[in-house]
Structure 1
Amino acid sequence: MMDTMIDMRWRSNKIALAIFVLALLVRVSYNLTVAAHYQPLHDSAQYRDIGLHIVQTHCFCLHGNIPTVGRAPLWPLLIGLLSLLFGPNDLFVRLFLCVLDAATCLLIYLFARRLLTERLALVAGMSAAFYPNLFIYTGWLYSETLYTFLLTAFCYLLYRFQRERTLLLAVASGLLPGLLALTRPNGLVLLVLFLVWLLVMGWQRLFAWRYVGRMLVLVPALALLLIVPWTWRNYLVTQRVLPIATGDGTVLLGSYNDLISQRSWDQMTWLNPLTSVPGISRHFPLYTCDARCEIGREELYKDYALLWMQTHLDKMPSLLTAHLANMWVPDAHEADLPTDRFTNQISTRVVLVLMRITPWPIYLLFIAGLWFTRRRWRDLLFVYGVLLVTIAQNIAFYGIPRFRAPIEPLLILLAVAALPSLLKFSVAAKRFRI
């Protein structure tokens, strides 16, 4: 019996390693073909420049020695550390993203193995390895891949914590929200979501209330342990309490303005305020706006965006509906995405075709998976919460396929979870016909 268990565990470990290696090969191949001539532009260049400033001048700065609070710190810091090891060549940063995304595929496999069966876990891991809407983001220097990895790890560890409740899992559950927030400011919402989840677990008597109380103290304390030093840094450069980063004003004003509201639904996304609302944005310098200036700019932008919403209530339903719809467009198109910059390559055309086709069966199976897993809602409550929070944020700000990236692993997981019930239904239908 013991030998059988050891053999099964060894077989599972080999499958896990194979999925990681396969996913890594797919992502490295993508970077050496489609993204072979990639050079950072737009947000990628900003992340890179801040990262290089951190290690070269010891300043979290974008332009010169002017401190900025416009970006969350974790991703630029990692870029800077990688430049110390391998030099400023962005290829090594993208290879690091390949490893991270391959690890995300491994997490999907491990999650599915505990939630479903070994065979279905293999399907989930293989699907993730070849899923283009995951690996395309390894070809540029945005924070999507890092955030997706951390969010998938958080969901998986909480699923395990619900059963094992070890100290190690408890500590990880506290550190991951902090890392998520330091990657993107909206990661703070996940800490609130965790606390709500914890209270529901107590209400359902899955956790003793004494245990819930301890976790309500431990997890926020660990998250704040990571976040507070950065908040203090922001206070020193702005004299304002700013937990992570600013930028919500730019997002809101770029999403809610006259130019955006006059577009077709598939173009109702975001337009830089420098273009969409130049009369407001011209009051602030483009390259010499320091941290305090950024705070003032974002507050003014936010005020104008909220005023626009209040005075254009008739436009809001169509905008919010467009935000929801645009989130689910299958293929991502961004100015800095390699698949948009190098469209003449055969490898790019292949990936573009896959991007347009593969999400549709995932969507359909995902919807079925939501229904078929409804009786296991306690096991998947946090996953459901992450899905709802992500969709709500995209509706409130603006929706594009890139903002769907963090929940792509969860879509795959629930899609695979639908397969056993669908197979049973198919077999029953055949017997009925006979």
Structure 2
Amino acid sequence: MTRTTKGASRLSAPARPTDSPVSAPVEDYKGSARPLVVLCAVGVALRFLFLCLAGDLEFQSDEANYVYLAVSWNHFGFYSDSYRYLWPPGYPFFLAVCLDGFEMGGLFVAKLLQVLASASIGFTTMLFARRLYGGRTALVAGAIWCGYLPLIGFTHYFWSETLFLALFLPALYQVLVVLQADGGARDGRILLAGLLLAGALFVKEMPLYLAPLLALLLAVFPTGLARIEGLRRASLFLLAIAVPILPWTLRNAEVYGRFVPLGASLGENAHGGLNAPYKNFDLTAYGRHLFLEESPETLARPWFVAADPDGEWARAEHIRNTPDRLAENQRRGLAYAAEHPGWLFRSRIKKLADLVAPASFFVRHQGIGRYEESVLGQLSVRRALVSLAMLSPVILLLLAAGGWFGTRMDRTSRWLLGTVLGYVALTSLLVSMSRFRIPMVPFLIVLAAGFATRGGRAGGRRALFSIAAAWAVLACLWWVDLPETLAVIRYAWGGAS
């Protein structure tokens, strides 16, 4: 009788067709870590090879600003803003420490440390895949991560993405473990998640508003506990984030007289993303560095970007205090968007198309000749790498859409991945740049690997219809960006010459 009662209880609340009925990892998620470590070592070795082959690359855009901030901190002992941005101090401090220990050789050391830090990205990506889908899927995810060129490139650039992801992904993995434990997780794991996310915020302030959303998940999902316990866990998580960043918040209040938790870049991004001229920072470099009369940026389909050219609003350059100036830029951008709702709608479709376009900084570097003096810039090598780098996002997005709609996933995992992917996508609707897609890539890899190994096992016709609809949407968005994409292929395929 007891067995019958338990069985009836389990059957009384069926799961969605594509979800597991419990909030728990798959049964074989505790397999040996040795294969994952081996794949991690392969990925790190490949990134080290690219670092050596790339040689010394000329700084591009924000790279120069990061290095300038690091040099000034190293030489003069204080951290300044870069006028148009007030960045968090983590990445410039990282570069400054490398310069302090190894002088100008510190720049190579910084890249080498980024290569090593990428092991955290690869290993955590595989842990996510193993926990959601099992050991075989983790190996496929690891193989994808090893050869994904848009990620490889950032290990030998002076952008903060590699260091950021090395902290951000483990933080989210700890959150997933806590959610799946359904109240059985120790407080130490919650504290670790908060501290790792605080570390990621010191490198890049992008997930600042993601933190309360994650806390909400921690509060809502302990289904086996009283609600007050969920609130306690959420509060502990937020406290673990707030305590490390509080000293820098107080420092900003003393220096600027304003409440700035870590950094401020929204105002400058509003100037680029909520303004009359269309800007895509994957494309602007072509016109600037190749001296083109018609750069890829000018080829955008007019309906999506057309605006009154006289409507461009200028930065608030007269305001000397950086946070105040950025706040005014933000206000002007929001006012412009409110006055032009039709343009806002059309241009956001374009931003979404730019988000999923097969562009990357690696391809851009090839197109503007940054690799010309290295083996990576030789004609046959360049063409092979550019082809792989541009095909990779296309295939990844198609498979990831299949993974989202066509594989079983426990409820907490679906909520966590949906929250993170949705949040990053929304932040990317402000400024067009493939760099902003990078935090999504590890999760897209997990979903793609899940579809490759477990696709077609759940959902039936409904899942097939959803996958087909998602692919159709992607195809439409790729059509929107097709003129610029073809131009990028032409320049990257042939190089700067």
TM-score band by shorter chain is: 0.7 to 0.9
* Higher mean C-alpha displacement, 15-24 vs 49-58: 49-58
- Find out whether 1:52 has 2:71 as its counterpart: yes
Residue 267 of structure 1, CA deviation: 9.9
Stretches of structure 1 lacking an aligned partner (at least 5 in a row): 1-7, 426-434
Residue 369 of structure 1, CA deviation: 0.8
Change (3 A) 1:375 1:14: closer
Give SS of 2:410's match: helix
Aligned residues: 401
Residue 158 of structure 1, CA deviation: 1.6
- Find out whether 1:408 has 2:413 as its counterpart: no
- Find out whether 1:75 has 2:91 as its counterpart: yes
Q: CA separation in 1, counterparts of 2:109 and 2:422?
A: 35
Q: Which amino acid aligns with 1:28?
A: F
Question: Among residues 126, 136, 145, which one is paired with 2:153 in the alignment?
Answer: 136
* Higher mean C-alpha displacement, 326-335 vs 103-112: 326-335
Give SS of 1:98's match: helix
Alpha carbons 1:254, 1:276 under 8 Å: kept: no
Identity %: 20
Alpha carbons 2:406, 2:457 under 8 Å: kept: no
Q: CA separation in 2, counterparts of 1:127 and 1:29?
A: 17
Q: CA separation in 2, counterparts of 1:9 and 1:216?
A: 26
Q: Which amino acid aligns with 2:128?
A: F
Question: Among residues 348, 351, 364, which one is paired with 1:320 in the alignment?
Answer: 348
Residue 186 of structure 1, CA deviation: 2.5
Task: Please show how residues 1-400 of structure 1 align to structure 2 within 5 Å.
Answer: 12-33=32-53, 35-61=54-80, 70-89=86-105, 90-162=107-179, 163=181, 165-202=185-222, 205-260=223-278, 264-265=299-300, 280-281=314-315, 283-284=317-318, 293-333=321-361, 337=365, 340-342=368-370, 344=372, 345-346=377-378, 347-373=381-407, 375-395=409-429, 397-400=430-433
Alpha carbons 2:219, 2:233 under 8 Å: kept: no
Q: CA separation in 2, counterparts of 1:139 and 1:232?
A: 33
User: Residues 72-110 of structure 1, C-alpha deviation per residue, up to 9 Å, x if partnerless?
Assistant: 111111111122233233221111111122321111122
Alpha carbons 2:40, 2:122 under 8 Å: kept: yes
Q: Which amino acid aligns with 1:323?
A: K
Corresponding residue number in structure 2 for 1:429? none
Residue 418 of structure 1, CA deviation: 1.5
Change (3 A) 1:282 1:191: closer
Change (3 A) 1:85 1:11: farther
Change (3 A) 1:399 1:260: closer
Give me the TM-score of the superposition, normalised by structure 2. Answer: 0.73
* Superposed CA RMSD: 3.1
Q: CA separation in 1, counterparts of 2:38 and 2:262?
A: 38
Alpha carbons 1:329, 1:400 under 8 Å: kept: no
Q: Which amino acid aligns with 1:16?
A: L
Change (3 A) 1:419 1:68: closer
Q: CA separation in 2, counterparts of 1:219 and 1:419?
A: 34
User: Residues 411-434 of structure 1, C-alpha deviation per residue, up to 9 Å, x if partnerless?
Assistant: 000111123443669xxxxxxxxx
* Higher mean C-alpha displacement, 259-268 vs 409-418: 259-268
Residue 70 of structure 1, CA deviation: 1.1
* Higher mean C-alpha displacement, 20-29 vs 158-167: 158-167
* Higher mean C-alpha displacement, 54-63 vs 167-176: 54-63
Q: Which amino acid aligns with 1:86?
A: F
Q: CA separation in 1, counterparts of 2:235 and 2:316?
A: 46
Alpha carbons 1:255, 1:269 under 8 Å: kept: no
Q: Which amino acid aligns with 1:313?
A: P
Q: CA separation in 2, counterparts of 1:411 and 1:69?
A: 29
User: Residues 5-40 of structure 1, C-alpha deviation per residue, up to 9 Å, x if partnerless?
Assistant: xxx99983331221121111111111122x313133
* Higher mean C-alpha displacement, 24-33 vs 143-152: 143-152
Q: Which amino acid aligns with 1:109?
A: M
Stretches of structure 2 lacking an aligned partner (at least 5 in a row): 1-27, 280-296, 459-497
Give me the TM-score of the superposition, normalised by structure 1. Answer: 0.83
Alpha carbons 2:216, 2:234 under 8 Å: kept: no
Return the structure number with greater helix share.
1
Q: Which amino acid aligns with 1:157?
A: Q
Corresponding residue number in structure 2 for 1:432? none
